[in-house]
Structure 1
Amino acid sequence: MKVLVTGAAGFIGQKLVSALIADPLYTDITITDIILPKTPRSPEEKPVTAVLSNLATQADREMLVTKDLDVIFILHGIMSGMAEKNFESGMMVNFDSTRGLLECARKRRWHESRNKLFIGAQVVPGIKVVFASSLAVFGGTLPDEVTERTMPTPSTSYGMQKMLCEYLINDYSRRGYIDGRTLRFPTVVVRPGAPSGAASSFVSGIIREPLNNLPSVLPVSRDMSLWVSSPRTVVSNILHAVNVPAEQLGEMRQINLPGITVTVKEMLEALGAVGGEERVELVKEQKDETVQRIVGSWPARFRIERAMDLGFVGDGGFAQVVKEYIEDEGILV
């Protein structure tokens, strides 16, 4: 299959590209971002094309969305904290550019192949689109456990922007313009590298920095519960989404991905058990009311029967998540 990955310079984007290269199903891979994404080594010598682009511009979107694409993985975006600080940028990157990509996919399909759209009374699905959404579409007063039927009531602009994209993907899929799959990511932990602009950046920071013998700030209370998943599991679920039959999704294209409910206290206990108690002592509490409000508005408990029935997978526990990070990054403990 020929695929396009947006946001490919990001952490999850790079891991996804490596997984695509290793998968024989994918034969032609284009990766793009606002900075030129690195091209992971391809021992299979697959064609991997890295493109510098600004998806806020129509010309770049039209260049990338070609009529022979089989799958678009939409991973780009401005993270929660930055989208809250800069409404205009959040709308442009998280909503407008995504809508523009969907329109390119629709127009390519309907303008260039209009006479081939129907077989009998059946609409032939368009390009598969796997969209990275977020648990941040939920907020406010929530039930004890969230399902796909729970009404999204985002408490942040970031969540609102993701929710708007979800509605577009549902309707574009219903009309046959695309074959969409919306994945609501848990908080992905542990992310390597520098802290991001996400309000939830501390969730990785309180594990990553201590394991690298660096101090870290905890801006929320230790009893806060979070819904989290490891990078390995999230990438595996992104790939699996491509293979889920459209008829099993129906008109509700949103899927709440499996995760782990864990408190900050339990995360630190896992850090101590795996990395040693001296690492936990590097975490210092420094309350940030804005971070507490944003992250505290997200649900921490989900019903995931639908995702599991569709073949998505979960993690084995938070201690295992920490061990995977240590293994992936080659950290000595």
Structure 2
Amino acid sequence: MTDVVIIGGGGVVGQKLARALVARGSLKGAPVGRITLADIVQPAPVEGTEGVVCDITDPGSVAAAIPDGTDVIYHLAAVVSAHAEAEFDEGWAINLGGTRNVLDRARALGTAPVLVFTSSIAVYGGAAADPLGDHSYPNPQTSYGAQKAIGEIMVNDWSRKGFVDGRAVRLPTISVRPGRPNRAASGFMSSILREPLNGQVAVCPVGRDYLHYYLSPRKCVENLIRVAEIPAETLGVNRVLQMPGRRWSIGDLVDALEAVAGPEAVRLIRWEDDPDLRRILDGWRHDIHADRAEALGLEADASFEENVRYYIEDDRPAP
């Protein structure tokens, strides 16, 4: 049996990952056993799993959430980009201190469990040369990006020492995300699609030509399952992978929305520049390649219209 703990199991990706693992029934060549969802508040119930409250800044809370015998740990929990920028100390306490606590608990298990850490394309920035990818020098321009870059180094080091079988995956921006907006600087990249699909007005703070790197929640979950199953010897000494995505402009997203839902949805988008948000967004990069991950079987979406359709199929509330 493969016992799994999902730290951040109350979030969008954590919940979808849990449902996918229950439906799949196996991981790493063995039946899935216990699936524990851990988060700062009690995660919404998912049939076939158990939920616990976990504060990752508290080592005792982390130890209680990751029981002996755990085989695979997904560490998805984080304070997101704009939140980490606005709340400097909180961002470092959770995104760095919390990651250290999760790694230390995994080490204490004494079994070198698989540990999948979700990093971010926010690690890229500054003067690093395009195209960017697994071996690019991290040069983050936000606190969130710095915290994720340090997390990657820790995963590599804990793996080098044999404490964990780690994998750090740099996630593209995940869109279209369901639910309520969060404090991520990229949140509008879902809301300008999600809200119009639900008949609501949304605000876009950048122009149609703004380029970014995207992946759907459905493909993200599929890739997270695949990355846990990659043999350690295949990964070698560099445990960092760029998760595949696709580069599209905001105009491409809006055109995809119109192609799927019609011009009425597009008319619900208001275009309002946000200089404060733009200062964060202008430090982000988009010429990103994921050749190594693609060779290992991870995939991007074929089109952004797929992303929109996945939201309608998987997440749009019933009328």
Instruction: Provide the TM-score with structure 1 as the length reference.
Output: 0.91
Counterpart of 2:135 in structure 1 is 149
In the alignment of these two chains, the number of paired residues is: 313
- Structure 2 residue 76 is the aligned partner of structure 1 residue 34: no
Q: Cα 1:330–1:108, aligned 2, differ >3 Å: closer, same or farther?
A: closer
Quote the offset at 1:331 in angstroms.
Answer: 6.3
Which digits, 9 at most, give the CA deviation of each residue in 1:90-133, with x for residues without a partner?
01111101101111222331xxxxxxxxxxxxxxx711100011
Alpha-carbon displacement from aligned partner over 1:173-210 (angstroms, at most 9, x marks no partner): 01101000001000000011111110000000100011
CA distance in 1, matches of 2:269, 2:43: 32
Report what 2:101 is aligned to: 100
Q: Deviations over 1:284-316 (max 9, x none)?
A: 111112222222322212222101111111111
Alignment partner of 1:290 is 2:276: yes
Aligned ranges 1:308-327 → 2 under 5 Å:
308-327=294-313
Structure 1 counterpart of 2:23: 22
Letter aligned with residue 13 of structure 2:
I
Query: One-letter code of the match for 1:89?
Result: E
Partner of 2:71: 70
- The structural deviation recorded for 1:141 is 2.7
Matched, 1:49 2:50: yes
- In our comparison, the structure showing a higher alpha carbon Rg is 1
Hey, what does 2:29 align to over in structure 1? none
Contact 1:222/1:263 (<8 A) preserved: yes
Match of 2:158 in 1: 172
- Name segments (4+ residues, structure 1) moved above 4 Å: 330-333
Name which of structure 1's ranges 232-241 and 264-273 shifts more when overlaid on structure 2. 264-273
User: 1:133 aligned to 2:119?
Assistant: yes
How has the CA–CA distance of structure 1 residues 205 and 173 changed in structure 2, closer, same or farther, with 3 Å as cutoff? same
Match of 1:181? 167
Find the aligned partners of 1:281 and 1:71 in 2 and give their Cα distance.
Answer: 45
Contact 2:244 2:299 in 1 (8 A): yes
1:113 maps to what in 2?
Answer: none
CA contact (8 A) 1:200 1:291 kept: no
CA distance in 1, matches of 2:219, 2:162: 30
Q: Does 1:90 align with 2:91?
A: yes
Matched, 1:221 2:207: yes
Quick check: 1:6–1:73 contact (8 Å CA) kept in 2? yes
Decide whether aligned partners of structure 1 residues 332 and 271 sit closer, same or farther in structure 2, where only a CA change above 3 A counts: farther
Distance of 2:197 and 2:66 partners within structure 1:
41
* Percent identity over paired residues: 37
Unaligned runs of 5+ in 1: 43-47, 110-124
1:324 & 1:66 partners in 2: Cα distance?
A: 34
CA shift for structure 1 position 143: 2.6
SS in 2 for 1:73: strand
Verify the 8 A CA contact 1:259 1:315 in the aligned structure 2. Answer: yes
Q: How does 1:273-288 map to 2 (within 5 A)?
A: 273-288=259-274
Deviation at 1:270, TM superposition (A): 0.9
Indicate whether 1:239 and 2:256 are aligned.
no
Indicate if the aligned counterparts of 2:165 and 2:232 stay in contact, CA closer than 8 A: yes
Question: Which deviates more from structure 2 when the two are superposed, residues 11-20 or residues 285-294?
Answer: 285-294
The alignment's C-alpha RMSD in Å is 1.5
Amino acid of the residue matched to residue 96 of structure 2?
A: F
Q: Secondary structure at the match of 1:292?
A: helix
Letter in 2 for 1:71: V
Which residue type is aligned with residue 40 of structure 2? I
TM-score by length of 2: 0.95
Cα distance, 1:53 vs structure 2: 1.8
AA aligned to 2:62 is R
Q: Does 1:61 align with 2:65?
A: no
Per-residue CA shift, 1:259-302, capped at 9, x if unaligned? Answer: 01000011111111111112111111111122222223222122
User: 1-side partners of 2:67 and 2:236: how far apart?
Assistant: 26
C-alpha displacement of 1:330? 4.6
1:199 correspondence with 2:185: yes
Q: Secondary structure at the match of 1:29?
A: strand
Matched, 1:272 2:278: no
8 Å Cα contact 1:326/1:332 also seen in 2: no
User: Aligned partners of 1:307, 1:128: CA distance in 2, in Å?
Assistant: 17
Counterpart of 1:119?
A: none
**Alpha-carbon distance, 1:41 to partner:** 2.5
Contact kept in structure 2, 1:206 and 1:218, CA below 8 Å = yes
